[in-house]
Every structure is written in structure tokens, then in C-alpha cells.
Amino acid sequence: MRILGVDPGLTRCGLGVVDAAGARRVSLVHVEAATSPSTDPTPARIARLGAALDRVLDEHRPDCVALERVFAQSNVSTVMGTAQISGVVMLAAERRGLPVVLYTPSEVKAAVTGDGRAAKAQVGFMVTRILGLAEAPRPADAADALAIAIAHAWRGGAAPAGSAATTAAQRRWAEAERAARRRG
């Protein structure tokens, strides 16, 4: 299964595509951080990021979209733009018939590092290791988009139908995730 992870933002929007074969094998397909200049009018910025999103969807044809859930409690100065881009991502996915799954930042951190409060650098480090990359994807938004895609792959989104069996490592991950959610 091919997953597009999106770290939504108006200044930088992370777009990361991974292929997931089974529950624990994921590989990098594509990653970028689409940008829009803060000096442009908001509609132009949204259209520019929407065009980058369409291009990734057309070129890499993911089976589903994993999107970071935006909270109104977050940084007020950026949250509105983030929500606007989220709406555009949901619309594009829905119009292509792709399922959209939302993950909170702490769910993503818990999935890839085992700690729902992990630092950004730790997320980048783990994404680099998990995907077997030579170096961490930059900027952080690109790494975060991949982390969201990996989180979806590992949450069972990429498990073959009927494969209920879990490994000991998977059970430990699941326990770490639950613990992180309780703390978060």
C-alpha cells in the first residue's frame, strides 16, 4: 500500500510518500516540502500548495492520505493557515476517492519513536533509520510528513487483510503508543 503523509502548513507543507509492504516494512517513494511566500496573498499561497499536492497525487498515486490533525489550541498565528491547507488536502483526497486518516502529533511521535512527546530531531532521526536513508529529510516538515505516513503504515493501515498476528516487537510498539497516549 502506498501512503501519502501530509504535514499541513501555509508556509511549508510536508508531503511524504511511502510504500508499506506488511506492517513493518516501509520504504521511501518521494518527499518534499512545498512552500509559499508569506508575502503572497493567502488565496495564491493556498493555490500554490494545492498545485504541489495535486502533482504529488498525480505522479505517485497513493492509496490513502494520512494527515496531521490540527488543533485550535496550537499556535494561533499559524493554526488558521494550517486548517485551511488541511481542508484543501481533504477535498483533494475525497475527490480522488482516497481515504483520509487523521493523526495527532503525539500519536505520530509515539508511533515512530515510542514517545508521544519526542523532540522534532528525534522524529527525524527515527524516520531516517526506519526508511534506511543516508541522512534526515530536510526541512523538518518533510521528515514529519514521512513520520505521519509511517505512523499510518504501522497503525495497521498497511497490514495485509486477515493478518491479525503481531510480532513481539509490534506488541511492544503498541504498548509504548498506548503509554504515550496516556501521558499525552
Q: How far is the CB of 157 from its own copies (least distance, A)?
A: 15
State in angstroms the smallest separation of the CB of 83 from its own copies: 3
Q: Quick one: 1 or 90, whose CB is closer to its own copies?
A: 90
Kindly list the distances between the CA atom of residue 182 and the CA atoms of 115, 119, 175, 176, in Å, as whole numbers in the listed order.
Answer: 11, 18, 11, 10
* Set 19, 32, 115, 141: catalytic member: 141
Task: Round to whole Å and give the CA distance between 137 and 4.
Answer: 15
* Cα(15)–Cα(32) distance, integer angstroms: 5
Q: Choosing from 7, 19, 107, 115, which is the catalytic residue?
A: 7
**Which residue's CB is nearer to its own copies, number 94 or number 175?**
94
Task: Give the chain's length.
Answer: 184
Chain centroid to Cα 158, Å, comes to 14
14 and 33 Cβ atoms separated by less than 8 Å: yes
| Minimum CB–partner distance for residue 19 and its own copies (Å) | 23
Residues that bind its own copies (CB under 8 A): 41-44, 46-47, 50, 70-73, 76, 79-80, 83-88, 90-91, 93-95, 100, 102
Cβ contact 6:15 at 8 Å: yes
Task: Answer yes or no: 68 catalytic.
Answer: yes
State the nearest-atom distance from the C-beta of 75 to its own copies, in Å.
Answer: 9
DSSP 8-state class, residue 159: S
66 vs 131, beta carbon nearer its own copies = 66
Would strands 25-35 and 12-21 be described as parallel, antiparallel, or unpaired? antiparallel
In DSSP terms, which residues pair with 26 in a beta bridge? 20
Whole-angstrom distance, CA of residue 166 vs CA of residue 7: 28
For its own copies, the closer CB: 3 or 112: 3
Q: Which residues are catalytic?
A: 7, 68, 141
